[in-house]
Amino acid sequence: MPDIGIDLSGKKALVTGGSRGIGRAIALRLAEAGCDVAINYLRNRGPAQETAEAVRSFGRNAILHKVNVAQEGKLADMFAAIQDGFGGLDILVSNAASGVIKPAMELTSRHWHWTMDINATALLPLTQHAAPLMGEDASIIAVSSLGAVRAIPNYAAVGASKAALESLVRHLAVELAPRGIRVNAISAGVVDTDALKHFSNRQQILTESARRTPAGRLTEPNDVADLALFLASPLASMMIGQTVVIDGGYSIMG
Ligand SMILES: NC(=O)c1ccc[n+]([C@@H]2O[C@H](COP(=O)([O-])OP(=O)(O)OC[C@H]3O[C@@H](n4cnc5c(N)ncnc54)[C@H](OP(=O)(O)O)[C@@H]3O)[C@@H](O)[C@H]2O)c1
């Protein structure tokens, strides 16, 4: 990464789903820029511990917290641990996601609510817990996807959840801007992470996405992390309520 002078020394961040994939890249980029980082995960402790060690290798503090972000009643413990360990919070990256990949006509109510609860609803209690720990120069970033605004096969539940997420980002942004908390979303193109293993046509998605991307390659976790770093920084002080697409130009192709 070129030295563009983003220094977040002393800032405290929480990255939900920060153990693997895009979340891990964001956690490490923030640590590299000087943040202490709390890493939330759900099931896989090994990758979470590895990411925490990588954060510490930058000389920063790391907190690990296992909780399902959709379990609203259990979130208070995570924020109490952050308050105890870090003494506050400057950056929340709501990145954890899940979802049922099926045609809309095969989705059950359980599939729908599982997906909505994790991908969209969770941002609300996460923000409600985070905001009281934040000072006047804080940033909340939600990670969305192009499925919020495009119809992608088998993506109905996840796409609808991301659309709700992006709308919630705008509403939270307006409410929290007067408090100095900026809320924005990142909408990423296809990124080759474990999440793609849930698609039976994974290889086709990767090949086709790379072929159609003007930049000539897929978006990588570090591309998303660089954008998150920018949105978390004072360079983005007038970015409020935006959904910023990072996809190498994929979505502007006719
Ligand atoms: N990959 C893509 O092509 C792509 C494109 C656009 C946007 N995105 C978005 O980018 C974000 C990260 O995706 P990814 O591809 O990096 O995913 P991933 O590799 O599958 O990683 C998911 C992460 O979220 C955690 N997680 C899952 N459900 C959780 C829950 N209910 N509570 C807490 N943590 C949970 C996982 O922890 P465990 O390992 O412990 O379960 C893991 O750390 C998501 O918001 C996704 O929608 C991805």
**Residue 3 included in any domain:** no
**Nearest 5 degrees, angle CA 117-CA 29-CA 231?**
65
Q: Whose CA is nearest to atom 31 of ligand 1?
A: 68
pLDDT of residue 176: 98
Domain of residue 80, CATH code:
3.40.50.720
Q: Mind telling me the catalytic residues?
A: 155, 162
Smallest CA-to-CA distance from 28 within 6, 2, 57 is with 57
User: Residue 4 pLDDT more than 80?
Assistant: no
Is residue 1 in some structural domain? Answer: no
Answer whether residue 77 is part of any domain.
yes
Tell me what pLDDT residue 197 has. Answer: 87
Region 147-151: mean pLDDT is 96
Alpha-carbon span 45 to 41, nearest angstrom: 8
What is the number of the ligand 1 atom nearest to the C-alpha of 194? 19
- The answer as to whether 245 is a domain residue is yes
Q: How many domains, in total, are found in the chain? A: 1
Is the residue at 198 inside a domain? yes
In a domain, 187, yes or no: yes
Test site for ligand 1: of 26, 28, 29, 42, most ligand atoms within 8 A of the Cβ = 42
Q: Is the pLDDT at 103 greater than 60, yes or no?
A: yes
Mutate to test the pocket of ligand 1, among 28, 69, 143 (most ligand atoms within 8 A of CB): 143
Please list the alpha-helical segments (H only) found in 213-250.
Answer: 221-232
- Residue 4: inside a domain, yes or no? no
Cβ–ligand 1 distance for 11 under 6 Å, the answer no
pLDDT at 199: 85
Query: Is 115 a residue whose pLDDT tops 90?
Result: yes
Read off the pLDDT of each residue in 149-177 and give the average, rounded to a whole number: 97
Average pLDDT (198-203) is: 88
In the predicted structure, residue 19 carries a pLDDT above the cut 60? yes
- Residues of the chain by 3-state class (helix, strand, coil), percent to 5: 50, 15, 35
**Secondary structure letter of residue 93 according to DSSP:** E
pLDDT in tens, 26-75: 999 999 999 999 999 999 999 999 999 999 999 999 999 999 999 999 99
- Asked whether residue 173 is domain-assigned, the answer is yes
Segment 181-187 shows an average pLDDT of 98
Q: Is 27 in the pocket of ligand 1 (CB under 6 A)?
A: no
Query: CA–CA separation, 135 vs 132, rounded Å?
Result: 8
Percent of the chain with pLDDT over 90: 96
Residue 235 has pLDDT above 60, yes or no: yes
pLDDT for the residue 3: 61
Could you tell me if the CB of 41 is within 6 A of ligand 1? yes
For 250, half-sphere exposure in the C-beta direction (CA atoms, 13 angstrom radius) is 26
Residue range(s) defining the domain that contains residue 182: 12-249
User: What pLDDT shows up at residue 127?
Assistant: 99
- Sheet architecture: strand order including 62-66: 62-66, 36-41, 12-15, 91-94, 138-145, 181-188, 243-246
> Quick one: average pLDDT of 130-142?
97
Q: Which helix (H) or strand (E) holds 82?
A: helix 75-86
